[in-house]
A and B are shown apart, each in its own frame.
Chain A
Amino acid sequence: MTSKITKKNYSMRSAFGKTLTRLASAHPNIYVVDIDLKDSLKLTDFAKRFKSRFIETGVSEQNAAAVAAGLALSGKTVFLTSYAAFSPSLNWGVIRQSICYNQAKVIIVGSHAGLMTDEQGATHQSLEDIALMRALPDIDVFSPADARQVKKILPTLIRGPRPAYLRLVRASAPNFTDPKSSFTIGKAQVLKRGTDLTIVGHGPILKNALLVQKDLKNISLEIINSPSIQPLDEKTILTSVKKTRHLITLEDHQVEGGLGEAIAPLLLKNPLNAKMKLLAVQDEFGQSAHDYEKLWDHYGLGIESLKTAIKELLK
């Protein structure tokens, strides 16, 4: 049951914009509160077709988050769309009070997360969004692995009762999740079964784990996609680590507050005599580059770094 990596690249942002526009026909309560990034979030069509439900706040992340809360408290299903580097960060305190504490069902969509932002550099590379959102009560946190998964997540978020954060990336990347799998809040998916070492990750970078397996013929990797970071699928992860006793977490995010740090306490609570390594950005800012693979390599998240980490952990 190994997932196949497509040769073609697909845009998460297009998948988001198109799927939301399609769903909006059947769901008259869907609203978008946009922070002047509609083209970037691929919502131009939504804005044209559902003019009355497309609310443009201009570059005002705090006002936008609270306006979204006001709409949600009036029964609307609201998507608050921007770059992750601005929302949720400039407006974190507003998300905390007006959305989470007040139980306003707003879905915060943060695009351009991680290092995959092309020339834009550190100001636009959100490497802290998951940490910011994980720290809050009463919100779910999702980081889909590919465009295919983005399409499946949206109907679930619309149905769900709680606020949510949805992480998207800028660059197009291959699809590699199972086309037949469904998306369930709190569930991880095993992309490949194995016995020696577990890799758990989220986002497009998880593709590297599948590629590494092809180079390491003598090592059997179990690869788990964990798009639901809060709530976390503890059972699937622990069952795997119990078997392999070796765990690497892989994510395009700061090590602080990311998926790795969400999983590490599970190993303290459930002593499995397992070794663990967290592959993530190590407390530094990103930078510009036109090839995200090069950025991943530079920050120790690329294929070679992953191979080294696997070999070291299994020594």
Chain B
Amino acid sequence: MPINLSHLKNTSLDVRADILTMINKAGSGHLAGPLSSTDLLVSLYFSNLFNFYPTDPKNPQRDRFVLSAGHLALALYSVLCRAGFFDEELLSGFSQLKSLLQGHVYHHVPGVEYSSGSLGQGLSVAAGMALADKKDRKKRFTIALTSDGEHNQGQVWEAAMFANKYSLSRLINIVDKNGIQIGGTTSQIMPLDDLASKYHEFGWQVYEINGHHFPTILRTLSYAKESKEKPVVIIANTVAAKGIPYMEANYKYHDIKDFDQEKFKKALSQLNKLSKFK
């Protein structure tokens, strides 16, 4: 089935609008990361490169997606909803008392494999899953999404060594490298320097791409699935808060606590402008 690029672009715009709407309704939420990772998630769930079953989320044939950076939940919730895992109604309750949609990603939500929020753990969990599949001779894939700030954690590098030791070739780590973290730019807080070289030295197959260019993302995902021995990292260079020009690349929009109606309208109108020029 050929992938329709304008469908992906439109879906991304819809997802970004969902993110803004959920934050506006809740009054607060994480913004920059969900917006920077949107195109990556849409590429996964709206192409034929990732195998999932919206009406049977635990189907044993499914590929597994582990969101390690749990604060990107808003993007994943919207994508899962639009992929058919649950009704839109659920989105409107984001982060309210007794809502399934917890502020950080929650495994009781249909389609979510793993709850996270405390950074640095998901790549190890994904490695454990990929190892179980390898032992069971299952051919499915485990895909993790990590953030660049998350790579401050030593555990990520423990997982990198582990995945190499066990030749987890069906493990793919997509790094949303948006250049910011909660307290500043990643280069200010803890420079990652040449992340690609680091992963290369750790024995991984490395791709570094523009994380907003759909043809490149899709092509790279299909290359990644061809790995025979090495685990694969896709370092996706992205723009924090992508789609809302006045917020883009500014670490102060990592999360937002007073997303009032005025700011919401301004952000949405900038997104709509983007929509017109797609």
Contact = CB atoms under 8 A, between A and B. Distances in A.
Say whether A and B bind each other.
yes
Interface of A: 52-53, 55, 57-58, 60, 62-63, 65-76, 93-94, 96-98, 101-103
B124 A71 contact: no
Nearest to B66: A70
Prevailing SS type, chain A contact patch: helix
Interface stretch (B23-31, B126-134, B173-181): B126-134
B107 A66 contact: no
A63 B132 contact: no
B133 to A, nearest CB: 7
A65 B114 CA distance: 14
Interface in B111-169: 113-118, 120-122, 124-133, 135-136, 154-155, 158-159, 161-162, 166
Contacts of B154: 62
A108 B129 CA distance: 18
Contacts of A96: 118
A210 B121 CA distance: 45
Contacts of A93: 118
Interface of B: 107, 113-118, 120-122, 124-133, 135-136, 154-155, 158-159, 161-162, 166
Given A52-B135, A58-B161, A76-B132, A70 B116 contact: no
Nearest to B106: A101
B127 A62 contact: no
B162 A102 contact: no
B217 to A, nearest CB: 25
B172 to A, nearest CB: 14
Given A93-B118, A97-B118, A70 B162 contact: no
B132 A74 contact: yes
Contacts of A70: 124-132
A102 B127 contact: no
Given A62-B158, A102-B114, A68 B128 contact: yes
A111 B113 CA distance: 31
A93 B127 CA distance: 18
10 contacts: A55-B131, A58-B162, A63-B155, A70-B126, A70-B129, A71-B128, A72-B128, A97-B115, A98-B124, A101-B115
A93 B129 CA distance: 20
B197 to A, nearest CB: 21
B173 to A, nearest CB: 13
A101 B120 CA distance: 16
